[in-house]
Amino acid sequence: MRRGSIVRILGLTVVFAAVQAVVAVAFKWLPTSASRQMDRITFVYWFATVICIAIFALVMAVIVYSVWQFRAQPDDESDGLPIHGHTGLEIGWTIVPAILVIAIGVVSAIVLSQNGRAGTNPLHVNVTAQQFEWSFAYPDNKNLKSHELVLLVNRSTRLDFEALDVIHSFWVPEFGQKQDAVPGIHTHLVVTPTRTGHFTLICTELCGLGHATMRAAVSVVDAAGFAAWIKKQQSGVGSGGSAAFVSGGCGGCHAFKPAGSAGQIGPGLDNLEADAKKAGQPLADYVKQAIVDPNAYLVPGFQKGVMPTTFGQSLSPQQIDALVKYLTGTA
């Protein structure tokens, strides 16, 4: 009888574990990893998941078996047996979970410490977060500035964060990690991309009205691609309007044919004349105001406070004039 019970409980355990294993494997719960750090985190997930599946299946099997096997008959009004516990069982269900939880803790601590290591020669990128855009500076490459995060495949990168206004948070789902950018505090994160491709950086800390639009393109490239990108960026940095359009990150939010950009967060900039007319302003004044004081006039259908209000300071007067000429087609 006792042996029969154990066999039945084990049988139920196997069935429950199989159902859970199917649920765990059949769905794509996480994005496909693109960093060494996420590979390690994924290992921790599976390590903990396998343990959880086993324990949950066993507990469910014991409960279901007991409910079914030891239920009272309809006319049975008698008391249950006076049982005072089972010391062996209690020691067992204390020690086994303790060992498992400690194991998960140790594995997690090892992964956390490995993920924090940048190695001896990381690429450095300074990340600036502000309402509502990301910008990146490359101190190893003459402090080159960009609104696209370009990383090298298989090269560890140390990202150092700075926030200019409120708390933002860096998250590229395929990299598997999140890191807050907090005003007044220096935070950092190590990323070692493992495959080339295009990803999206998402702000994952509710930071204001434009939070949902606070995204940036991330590209992982090989060494040749990186060198070519650096060269192209450095040659593009001048005082021209097209260069200011790139360095200002305007294309991330605006579609503008001459720049080949396709951003969808702000209005398209190919028909500014009509908008200036609607606002009742001369074209050049209208465009200049839209850049230095975006909230002064809102394009119908768009919200206040999404376009950064800092361009009046971050761009030089020459750059702003060049931008206005570029956007109005009078360059």
82, two tokens: 């006076």
Nearer to Cu ion, 207 or 287 (CB): 207
DSSP string spanning 166-218?
S-EEEE-GGG--EEEE-TT--EEEEE-B-S-EEEEEEE-S--STTGGG-EEEE
Nearer to Cu ion, 201 or 327 (CB): 201
**Binding residues among 304-323 for ligand HEC as defined by CB under 6 A:** 306-308, 311, 323
d(CA 47, CA 49): 6
Mark the segment that binds ligand HEC (CB under 6 A) among 40-48, 50-58, 231-239, 299-307: 299-307
Among 57, 111, 272, 283, binds ligand HEC (CB under 6 A): 272
Q: Is there a contact between 251 and 263 (Cβ–Cβ < 8 Å)?
A: yes
**Binding residues among 79-98 for ligand HEC as defined by CB under 6 A:** none
Q: How crowded is residue 74: how many other Cβ atoms within 10 Å of its Cβ?
A: 5
Q: Is there a contact between 275 and 267 (Cβ–Cβ < 8 Å)?
A: yes
Site membership for ligand HEC, residue 241 (CB under 6 A): no
Site membership for ligand HEC, residue 290 (CB under 6 A): yes
Among 48, 58, 255, 298, binds ligand HEC (CB under 6 A): 298
d(CA 8, CA 65): 8
Q: Least Å distance between CB 310 and ligand HEC?
A: 10
Residues binding ligand HEC (CB under 6 A) = 132-133, 213, 248-250, 252-254, 265-267, 269, 272, 275, 287, 290-291, 294, 298-299, 302, 306-308, 311, 323, 327
